[in-house]
A = this chain, B = another copy of it.
Amino acid sequence: MSGGAAYTGPSGDLARLSINQETVKQWSLPELAAGCNALGITQVGLWRAPVQSYGVERAARLMRDSGLTVTSLCRGGFFTDAEPGRRAAALDDNRAAIDEAATLGTGTLVLVSGGLPPGDRDIAAARERVADAIATLAPYAADRGVRLAVEALHPMYASDRCVISTLGQALDIAERFPAEQVAVVVDTYHLWWDDLVPAQIVRAGAGGRIASFQVADWVTPLPEGVLLGRGQLGDGCVDLRGFRTQVDATGFDGAVEVEIFSPALWARDGSEVLAEIAERYRRHVL
């Protein structure tokens, strides 16, 4: 298209929309690429397991050939085990995740810190082990053009999945390192309830620490295990547009990545889900 305006597709207002692949996990990677192309969506967030199954190099080529930018790779982390052997294994696995992110051409590896090991009641010490692991990994990642993005997960995951529960805690860790090496994820599903979030978004933005902005809605009742209860945009109680406005007010102009884990969405036709997300995104986020 030399000489012409850049092609923005039929939906220029979707320019910032990124689809996290877990949102339409019923799709293979080629189906995801085709589905995004069909709607004019140009960005995706990927997960390690399906990328590994498909082949990392092959996935990178598919994304490139489909004109898709990879906005993030989920996920590294799980740093809280104190036992030396398992700790070394976790660091090795994170180096592999960093390599995969570099191969995929994304500058953002999302970190889910890990929960408390069995029998452990010292969450402050577990958080320090997260910081220690990041200290080890950040230079390795930076050398490969990858920034580590610390994600705060909702406090209901604090014991078994992620000891980092607030944006404030994530920033407390990230700010120990250069902003070009370690940043944070702002995810509406995890943070919406926190009255301190507006101030922490300002703090994150001022420090250039927002690596990723993810959106999902909060709906109840929560399912057993509370992992797969996220809501389609607009179905819940999160002021998604208010969040996006606050994040943008800091100067952030990166992707708005939709990440919804929902068996109800997975049971439907992927194209139908993607079209609904685009419509909801326009109505509730833009």
Q: Contact residues of A with B, CB < 8 Å?
A: 116, 120-124, 127, 154-156, 158-160, 165-166, 168-169, 192-196, 218-226, 236-239, 242
CB contacts (< 8 Å) of A120 on chain B: these are: 237
The answer to whether A223 and B220 have CB atoms under 8 Å apart is no
Q: Which residue of B lies closest to A122 (CB)?
A: B239
The answer to whether B155 and A193 have CB atoms under 8 Å apart is yes
Q: Can you list 9 A-B contacts with CB-CB less than 8 angstroms, sorted by A residue number? A: A116-B237, A123-B192, A156-B222, A159-B237, A160-B220, A168-B196, A220-B225, A222-B224, A222-B225
> Looking at the complex, which one of B154, B219, B239 makes contact with A155 (CB distance below 8 Å)?
B154
CB contacts (< 8 Å) of A193 on chain B: these are: 123, 155, 158-159, 165
CB contacts (< 8 Å) of A168 on chain B: these are: 196
The answer to whether B226 and A156 have CB atoms under 8 Å apart is yes
Q: Which residue of B lies closest to A160 (CB)?
A: B220
Most B Cβ at <10 Å: residue of A123, A156, A169, A192: A156
Q: Which residue of B lies closest to A223 (CB)?
A: B224
Q: How far is the CB of A156 from chain B (nearest CB, A)?
A: 4
CB contacts (< 8 Å) of A124 on chain B: these are: 195
Q: Which residue of B lies closest to A195 (CB)?
A: B169
Q: Which residue of B lies closest to A219 (CB)?
A: B159
CB contacts (< 8 Å) of A122 on chain B: these are: 239
CB contacts (< 8 Å) of A154 on chain B: these are: 155-156
Please give 13 more A-B residue pairs, beta carbons under 8 A apart, in addition to A121-B239, A160-B220.
A116-B237, A123-B192, A123-B237, A127-B195, A155-B193, A158-B193, A159-B193, A159-B236, A160-B221, A166-B195, A221-B224, A222-B222, A222-B224
Q: Which residue of B lies closest to A119 (CB)?
A: B237
Q: Which residue of B lies closest to A190 (CB)?
A: B155
